[in-house]
Amino acid sequence: MNFRQRLRQAIDSLYAGGQATAEAYTPLVLECVRVNDVGQAKRLQSHMDLHYFIPNDTFLHNRLLHMYARLGKISDARNLFDRMPQRDIISWNTILSVYAKSGSVENLRELFYKMPFRDSVSYNTLIAGLAGSGFSSQALEVFLRMNREGFEPTEYTHVSLLNACSRLLDLRKGKQIHGRICVGFLGRNVFVWNALTDMYAKCGEIDKARWLFDRTDNKNVVSWNSLIAGYLKNGQPKKCIDLFQEMQLGGFKPDDVTVSNVLGAYFQSGLVDEAIEVFNLIKNKDKVSWTTMIVGYVQNGKEEDALNLFAKMLAEGVKPDSFTISSVISSCAKLAYLCNGQVVHGKAILLGVDNDLLVSSALVDMYCKCGITKDAWIVFDMMPSRNVVSWNAMIRGYAQNGQDLEALALYEKLLQQKLKPDSITFVAVLSSCNHAGLIEEGRIYFDSISKRHALVPTLDHYACMINLLGRSGCMTEAIDLVNNMPHEPNSLIWSTLLSVCAIKGDTENGEMAAKRLFELEPLNAGPYIMLSNMYATCGRWEDVASVRSLMKSKNVKKFAAYSWIEIDNEVHKFVAEDATHPQTEIIYEELGRLIKKLQEAGFMPDTKLVLHNKLALAYGLIKKPHATAPIRIMKNIRVCGDCHMFMKLVSKVIGRPIILRDSNRFHHFVGGSCSCKDYW
């Protein structure tokens, strides 16, 4: 017979015998506490109530109360506490600790202020509960009151306070707490040293954190994690990796927190293969490690790997959270994988995280980047709460899809909601003005960045204005803006100017912009090709040959261009003159039929070069010949004039909408017209 069975028999005998004394209850209560038997403890409590037993002191009830608290039985603890005939400071502090550990902040505060008497434990418990639940400022305020009332903090109080300072990034208060620790000679406790290291690291004083770490006695895994995370947060991934290796050499076993930070450091350094090696060594992969890998893949441009890993995560039975889901949705957005995005949207609904702010904002962005602004608006409109990121996703989505007036109208609604726009908002707003040719409105919005919203215009904002001014025929004003801007012009500024010059035939300023780009990005083929095309347009063939010779001497390679189309959840990629697809022969036959249709309708498309997006279009028509839904094509560079005209003509002749996403924006081709209004 085991201990629990004997305990049950003893309490059965108690019930059979009727009334009992404190001497009979005491060993049974202590045995319940020893074996953590809540059920028998509640039977004892019921027996006491049944026979109106009133103990002479709080010992028995406090022991039961402490057991309920330790085992997280909040309702049982509160029920006993409320029915206790007498309570002492231990009773109050015990129930206080229940609320502190469970994060029930409102109950914690209410109970604290109802206490007829308090001691240092009461204050320490309240401070720990507030700090642990994210109420950092309130924890520091309670500490000040504790001091005024003459109670002494413990080492663990200082740990809670330092954690509060870390969350607030309040270095000044953190240093004050550090000073108190030094004065009180409380600094040899490893938990205190860990909290100090963490505080300095999170507040940006990583060298001070390292100094403390090196002098910490009896380091534990938390000590190492504090500094490893600190190096990662302060943008020093190499030191993070070095410390991880030092930790292993020291005989310490990394935990999930260590691995998550080290994976982040490898990804931050672009060492994807090394991150994979670490990840594969983890025996019991948890949600954090899976999510870190998925996010790392996304950050390093490996969106397809992120999607594949997400599928494996689900197959392993690991439940993703809102952060995981939002990262996967972002992968679908970057790849414009609508079908995959819709599947993940469904998964978010099943998990109950579809209304999460992070997930909803990612969904808005995904649908916009797949060219489906109607679905994006449905998600946006149903969001229970929105922040500037959500608004930016929808405004930018409208702008990228040629719905410029809708983007500007939504921006005005954002202001009506008393939300503060950020730099990303204004990139979308100025882009909308640019595409719609609204030069005066663009000037007003640009001036409002600093004058109305107290923001500093970024290079992105200047690039938008240079584009707007140049395309509107105000080239002199655009050049003046480049010369007088407070920032040093970067490649974005010069490439924007070069693009405008190419459109306007301004060879002189185009040469200036191109030469600056040759200096800033000598191996980028784009400026060379653009300048060469400008020369060719003017018939300056010697200059064309000179630019090509320059490219050859510098070993400048053209960027590999390709297009892709998603058919039945499968992605098909094409390059120019592609002959690698298993259905190549059928695709070229379809393209030939398409060109013949255009010619019969009186159009003469350029058939010299079979470009990748034409092949993707032909394949889409083969696989979905009778569908009415738009054919959706993505490409990794900006669409050229010939391909743009080709898509317009096809949309008119076959009477089918085509959505083309290039590296700059969406082109919605319907009935021979494009949403970009021939702006590309």
Of 659, 15, 17, 675, nearest to 405 by C-alpha is: 675
In a domain, 60, yes or no: no
**Domain extent at residue 407:** 386-457
**Quick one: 484 exposed, middle or buried, by C-beta within 10 A (0-12, 13-18, 19+)?**
exposed
Q: Of 554, 588, 608, which marks where a domain is finished?
A: 554
Residue type, 244: F
Contact 401, 431 (CB under 8 A): no
Angle ∠(434,437,440) on CA atoms, nearest 5? 90
For 505-543, letters b (16+ CB in 10 Å) and e give ebbebbbbbbebbbebbeebebbbbbbbebbeeeeeeeb
The confidence score (pLDDT) of residue 387 equals 94
Tell me, yes or no, whether 402 and 450 share the same domain: yes
| Residue 227 to residue 244: CA distance in whole angstroms | 10
Tell me, yes or no, whether 549 and 467 share the same domain: yes
The confidence score (pLDDT) of residue 679 equals 55
Neighbours of 646 (CB within 10 A): 25
Sign of CA dihedral 284, 288, 291, 295: negative
Based on the structure, what is the number of domains in the chain? 3
Tell me, yes or no, whether 501 and 546 share the same domain: yes
Neighbours of 134 (CB within 10 A): 13
Tell me, yes or no, whether 577 and 664 share the same domain: yes
Of 160, 194, 201, nearest to 177 by C-alpha is: 160
| DSSP one-letter string for 428-458 | HHHHHHHHHT-HHHHHHHHHHHHHTT-----
| Residue 445 to residue 425: CA distance in whole angstroms | 11
| Residue 279 to residue 254: CA distance in whole angstroms | 12
Of 562, 624, 628, 616, nearest to 591 by C-alpha is: 616
In a domain, 493, yes or no: yes
Q: Which residues of the chain have pLDDT under 70?
A: 1, 185-187, 605-611, 678-680
**Quick one: 443 exposed, middle or buried, by C-beta within 10 A (0-12, 13-18, 19+)?**
middle
The confidence score (pLDDT) of residue 49 equals 84
Tell me, yes or no, whether 413 and 468 share the same domain: no
Tell me, yes or no, whether 426 and 484 share the same domain: no
Tokens in use for 310? 């997400």
Tell me, yes or no, whether 484 and 526 share the same domain: yes
**Quick one: 49 exposed, middle or buried, by C-beta within 10 A (0-12, 13-18, 19+)?**
exposed
Tell me, yes or no, whether 494 and 576 share the same domain: no
Tell me, yes or no, whether 570 and 639 share the same domain: yes
DSSP assigned state of 609: S
In a domain, 625, yes or no: yes
Tell me, yes or no, whether 488 and 573 share the same domain: no
Of 80, 79, 26, 75, nearest to 55 by C-alpha is: 26
Q: What radius of gyration do the chain's Cα atoms show?
A: 34
Contact 234, 243 (CB under 8 A): no
| DSSP one-letter string for 72-107 | T-HHHHHHHHHH-S---HHHHHHHHHHHHHHT-HHH
Helices 59-70 and 22-35: angle between axes, nearest 10 degrees: 10
Tell me, yes or no, whether 616 and 627 share the same domain: yes
Tell me, yes or no, whether 444 and 485 share the same domain: no
Q: Of 532, 554, 576, which marks where a domain is finished?
A: 554
In a domain, 606, yes or no: yes
Tokens in use for 193? 């040293």
The confidence score (pLDDT) of residue 606 equals 63
Distances (CA, A) of 678 to 218, 436, 639, 641, 647: 69, 11, 11, 9, 12
| Residue 179 to residue 422: CA distance in whole angstroms | 39
- Indicate the SS3 state at residue 36: coil
In a domain, 35, yes or no: no
| Residue 24 to residue 5: CA distance in whole angstroms | 18
- Dihedral in degrees, nearest 10, Cα atoms 411, 413, 419, 424: -10
Q: Of 554, 578, 594, which marks where a domain is finished?
A: 554
Of 103, 175, 129, 118, nearest to 152 by C-alpha is: 118
In a domain, 502, yes or no: yes
Of 214, 116, 207, 200, nearest to 165 by C-alpha is: 200
How far does CA 50 lie from the centroid of its chain?
Answer: 57
Distances (CA, A) of 75 to 88, 102, 299: 20, 12, 45
**Domain with 509 in it: what CATH number?**
1.25.40
In a domain, 645, yes or no: yes
In a domain, 640, yes or no: yes
The confidence score (pLDDT) of residue 680 equals 45
Tokens in use for 452? 């109305």
Contact 359, 348 (CB under 8 A): yes
